[in-house]
């Protein structure tokens, strides 16, 4: 690694400090510091209910934090809606299906951002072309942009969701359990999509329960447990076994 790229990595793309989030009497996030650097894949892991989804939903504008600050490209930002987040270049593929099953591929990819002709009518040609090109670019060959999402396999759906993030020049793509409920082959496809994102200089936050999926893809790992950050380690300083132990261990207070 050259020294110039080393100083590059010192800069953060997105940084969250002291983030707290309450749901009624449940504190889902207890003062989390979290950062992502340019072109970095961060594996965000932890047990069920650890707060992973909540943390990224704060970053993507779905939830509002009760406390804490967010910096994007070293500037303090206020993210109060998913629109704010996307304006910055943060795209999220949510754990809950983020696609509309009875709508076509191209209508899903351009949902909420339809290219329009005068009077606001959709430019269907450019939607169809744009979506097919984007799908090809991550190596996903689908028959037609008019196919309904409900007719696709799980892996293909994740591909469409990722393409939607990619197409809009995201700087940071957040994937919440993109490989859950996928066959081995489909999961491998999704992992290839993630490599493709990194090659294009896009940062990725990858949430999963499957350490075997995240370990080869990620550069760094952040472990959450019961709303606290338990560990933040570079890949070279850890192993799958160590991460697995950290995940099951309750947070220690000293």
Ligand X SMILES: Nc1ncnc2c1ncn2[C@@H]1O[C@H](COP(=O)(O)OP(=O)(O)OP(=O)(O)O)[C@@H](O)[C@H]1O
Site residues (CB under 6 A) for ligand X?
Answer: 23, 26, 28, 46, 48-54, 95
Nearer to ligand X by C-beta: 152 or 231?
231
Strand partners, 42: 205, 220
144 binds other proteins (CB under 8 A): yes
Minimal CA–CA distance to 229: which of 204, 210, 205, 253? 253
Q: What 3-state class would DSSP assign to 136?
A: helix
**Which range in 79-87, 199-207, 212-220, 224-232 contacts other proteins by CB under 8 A?**
79-87
Is 34 or 110 the residue whose CB approaches other proteins more closely?
A: 110
Which of 73, 69, 66 is CA-nearest to residue 26? 66
Closer to ligand X at the Cβ: 45 or 170?
A: 45
Query: 154-167 and 184-199 helices cross at what angle (nearest 10)?
Result: 10
Cα distance between residue 176 and residue 214, in whole Å: 12
**Residue 221 contacts other proteins per CB under 8 A:** no
Which position among 5, 78, 80, 97 is part of the footprint of other proteins (CB under 8 A)?
97
CB of 144 to other proteins, least distance (A): 7
Measured distance CA(36)–CA(220) in Å, rounded: 9
User: Which of 9, 11, 23, 100 is the binder for other proteins (CB under 8 A)?
Assistant: 100
- For residue 19, the surrounding DSSP H or E stretch is strand 14-23
75-134 positions binding Mg ion, by CB under 5 A: 95
8 A C-beta contact, residue 38 and residue 193 = no
Among 53, 92, 104, 217, binds Mg ion (CB under 5 A): 53
Q: How far is the CB of 16 from other proteins (least distance, A)?
A: 19
């Amino acid at each position: 690694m050259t020294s110039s790229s080393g100083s590059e990595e010192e800069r953060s793309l997105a940084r969250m400090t002291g983030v707290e989030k309450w749901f009624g009497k449940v504190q889902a996030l207890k003062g989390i510091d979290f950062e992502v650097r340019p072109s970095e894949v961060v594996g965000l892991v932890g047990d069920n209910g650890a707060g992973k989804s909540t943390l990224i939903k704060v970053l993507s504008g779905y939830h509002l934090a009760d406390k804490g600050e967010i910096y994007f490209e070293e500037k303090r930002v206020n993210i109060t809606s998913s629109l704010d987040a996307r304006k910055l270049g943060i795209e999220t593929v949510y754990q809950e299906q983020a696609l509309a099953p009875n709508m076509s591929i191209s209508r899903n990819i351009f949902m909420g951002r339809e290219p329009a002709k005068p009077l606001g009518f959709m430019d269907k040609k450019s939607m169809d072309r744009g979506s097919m090109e984007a799908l090809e670019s991550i190596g996903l060959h689908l028959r037609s942009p008019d196919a309904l999402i409900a007719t696709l396999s799980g892996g293909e759906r994740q591909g469409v969701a990722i393409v939607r993030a990619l197409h809009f020049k995201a700087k940071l793509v957040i994937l919440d359990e993109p490989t859950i409920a996928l066959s081995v082959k489909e999961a491998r496809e999704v992992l290839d999509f993630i490599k493709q994102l990194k090659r294009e200089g896009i940062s990725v936050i990858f949430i999963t329960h499957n350490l075997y999926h995240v370990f080869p893809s990620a550069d760094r790992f952040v472990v959450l447990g019961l709303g606290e950050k338990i560990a933040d380690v570079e890949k070279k300083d850890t192993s799958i076994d160590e991460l697995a132990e950290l995940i099951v261990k309750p947070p220690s207070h000293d």
